[in-house]
Structure 1
C-alpha cells in the first residue's frame, strides 16, 4: 500500500511499521481465538468496524476466518492509517 511500510516480527507477532514507527499488526483474540488486525493509533481513526474495547490508543478490526476478507474495508482503514503518518498527525523520523 505504501513504499514506506516495512514488516518485522515483534512481541511474537507480525508487525508493520511506517518509516520505522509501528502502525499495525496481526494477532488473535485470547478468548475467541479469532484473528484481528490491530491499528496502533486506531483511536485517531473513526470507522464503524474498528473496536476500541478497553484500549486507550489502539483499535482492532476483527477478521472472520470463515468468511471472505472484506478487502475494501481493510483498504479504507489502512489508507486512513497511512494518512495519519503522511500528513504529520503522527510524527515519524
Structure 2
C-alpha cells in the first residue's frame, strides 16, 4: 500500500468511504491538472503542481475537514478561518449529505488564485 492508501485505511467506516468519495470527486473534477501527493502525513491535492487543498481531522471540532489554500481570499459561510493565515477549513458532518458541489466550487475559486 502506498502512503495515501494507508492514510485512508486507518480511518474507520463510514468516514473512510465518505472521504474516499470526496477524494475521487476532487481528482475527477479536473483530471488533467489536479494531482494528489502525500505531504506532512496528509493527502494533498495540487493544481498544476501548486497547493489546492488537503484533507485532515480536527481534534478541536472532532470532525474531518477539507482545508483550502488561499482560503483567506474565499468568502463562504461554511468556511472557518480559526486563526489560520492562508487556509480556511470546511468541516464535514458525517451525519449530513456531503456538500460535494460546494467543495468543488471552492476548489474552482482557489484555482483562480493560483498563478
Pairwise TM-score range, normalised by the shorter structure: 0.7 to 0.9
**Does the residue aligned with 2:102 lie in a helix, a strand or coil?**
helix
Alignment partner for residue 18 of structure 1, among 29, 35, 47?
Answer: 47
Counterpart check, 1:53 vs 2:82: yes
Counterpart check, 1:34 vs 2:63: yes
Q: Residues 44-83 of structure 1: matches in 2 within 5 Å?
A: 44-83=73-112
Q: Which has the higher helix share?
A: 2
How many residue pairs are counted as aligned between the two chains?
A: 86
Q: 1:33 deviation in Å?
A: 2.7
Structure with the larger RCO, 1 or 2 (CA within 8 Å, 6+ apart):
1
Q: 1:32 deviation in Å?
A: 3.2
- The ranges of structure 1 where at least 4 consecutive aligned residues each deviate by more than 3 angstroms after the TM superposition are none
Unaligned runs of 5+ in 2: 1-28
**Does the residue aligned with 2:80 lie in a helix, a strand or coil?**
coil
Distance in 1 of aligned mates of 2:82 and 2:61? 15
Q: 1:81 deviation in Å?
A: 1.3
TM-score by length of 1: 0.84
RMSD: 1.2
The equivalent of 1:88 in structure 2 is none
**Does the residue aligned with 2:109 lie in a helix, a strand or coil?**
helix
Alignment partner for residue 9 of structure 1, among 38, 55, 66?
Answer: 38
